[in-house]
Structure 1
């Protein structure tokens, strides 16, 4: 079995369509299709079920996927160890994270790694959703809940706090604010309930709110923009709100949430130097931003 054939198999397994797989491999779709058919004939087994919706792996295909991913990781590690420079990283590393994390916690970490390794391409995918490491949508993912299945390695980064925030003039207009009942006339800002990709983001349900906020988005950055414009109240991570002096905490004793970030990666990448280094840089920078005194301790 040739490694080039397995590369084609991996691309189709991850993309589910010949066109998308061909783009990732710089091959035309017809060539990709022929290579998959030839691999199936060589193995004497069907790897994919074809349909108008794309290519879906069979049980045999899923079995082969585990071995193909392991070979891919070994090939990548060997390439870095033999062909790369010992003191510099090269290639591509992609990290997937919620948009709030990407915009407020990863900017400096990604830039520092790129600056220190000129041959390394750092890709940050900032989307409010979960990422599939098995499909190689990302090499590393930051999540709010640790996954419970898959060949994954999970590392807790740190806890972080959230509070209810509003622009100071919005709070002044609602004064005096002694409890949640005093805020009934102020619009709420939050996540769209049927688009919440992690239960840890369902803040208003935890606060006992029966209806959705008046302004909702699946993007934390858009929620922040509304809050900064004085459109209403929004539950925000403290690491986001502290960058905006016009925002103030509302009812800090009554409304305070604790959540955690986790770094998730595929077990097969344990020997890939660029991913290992990226993981360490991310944890170091995020902990220094989230844990008081962590930067001084050099953790």
Structure 2
């Protein structure tokens, strides 16, 4: 029978598809990973991976079947560890949460600081990135995305709606033609995304408002767009939770230009019985709900819950 270490090595290689990446995450040598995988395949009398320079370690049909069982074993061991360490005790362990870049940097990070202060036995990884987070590869324990996952063994909830508005600096607005109606946009320049590199169609909102030739600065990063707006050379559509906290920015045509989007929070179904994951899940639901005014642009300040969130 394979031991837990062998299964742990297998899971890391399956998720990263690279022995070198798995070795880095496990804190061992590359040769140790490949040796343990060969030993596991011999003990199971099955080929778990197809190996190539181009695609790395790709799961075979046997590997895919074993991966399902291995994840169940992993989840069961995590739940057992928490139960035996004392369910009523202080939360401990490690969690990784992935999110869209702007929300993760300006809202999620300060909330996670507050969560960690409440649970000092916890360690956290925050991943605010301009791309999708893969839970199937266990890149994170909890993900916050612009779209609800269409398939997969996930526990999912709508976290919040949020609003985006057109923003510019006071200096820009003072030195350019006035903006009283949508037609006045033709006299202005804009900042937006690199269209062919968008990771979600939910970010494709500028095209409906202005001609492409009026966009003078593009970036895959919403934080880069935010910094570019502060340069005072153009306007940009920004989420209110980012721009409303900066007094240097002013919303333009508020009644005519409002874009609504949503955040979805999800985790792997196997983690719903893991106490620390559900504690963070409940905290985020409470904390983000408390900040609806900021998400809609009616407030300029992020709030944290006044009392600890309930642990599931």
TM over 0.5: yes
User: 1:58 Cα deviation (Å)?
Assistant: 1.4
* Structure 2 residue corresponding to 1:125, chosen from 108, 124, 127: 127
Does structure 2 conserve the Cα–Cα contact (< 8 Å) formed by 1:98 and 1:142? yes
What TM-score, normalized to structure 2?
Answer: 0.89
Does structure 1 conserve the Cα–Cα contact (< 8 Å) formed by 2:186 and 2:210? no
* Structure 2 residue corresponding to 1:197, chosen from 196, 199, 202: 199
Partner Cα separation in structure 1 for residue 234 and residue 253 of structure 2: 14
Is the counterpart of residue 233 in structure 1 residue 235 in structure 2? yes
Does structure 2 conserve the Cα–Cα contact (< 8 Å) formed by 1:105 and 1:289? no
* SS of equivalent to 1:49: strand
Is the counterpart of residue 247 in structure 1 residue 249 in structure 2? yes
**Which segments of 5 or more consecutive residues in structure 2 lack a partner in the other structure?**
none
In the TM superposition, 1:35-50 aligns within 5 A as 35-50=36-51
Deviation per residue, 1:133-192 (Å, 9 max, x gap): 111111111101101011111110111111111112222333332334323342211111
**Residue 23 (structure 1) aligns with:** 24
**Residue 187 (structure 1) aligns with:** 189
Partner Cα separation in structure 2 for residue 29 and residue 169 of structure 1: 55
* SS of equivalent to 1:214: strand
Partner Cα separation in structure 1 for residue 213 and residue 200 of structure 2: 19
Deviation per residue, 1:62-88 (Å, 9 max, x gap): 222122112111111111111256231
Task: Provide the aligned length of Structure 1 versus Structure 2.
Answer: 299
In the TM superposition, 1:1-299 aligns within 5 A as 1-53=2-54, 54-84=56-86, 86-207=88-209, 209-211=211-213, 213-291=215-293
In structure 2, do the counterparts of structure 1 residues 214 and 121 end up closer, same or farther at CA, with 3 Å as the change threshold?
same
**Which segments of 5 or more consecutive residues in structure 1 lack a partner in the other structure?**
none
What TM-score, normalized to structure 1?
Answer: 0.93
* SS of equivalent to 2:66: helix
In structure 2, do the counterparts of structure 1 residues 269 and 211 end up closer, same or farther at CA, with 3 Å as the change threshold?
farther
Does structure 1 conserve the Cα–Cα contact (< 8 Å) formed by 2:165 and 2:254? yes
Deviation per residue, 1:80-131 (Å, 9 max, x gap): 1112562311111010111211222113321122112222101101111100
Partner Cα separation in structure 1 for residue 157 and residue 144 of structure 2: 10
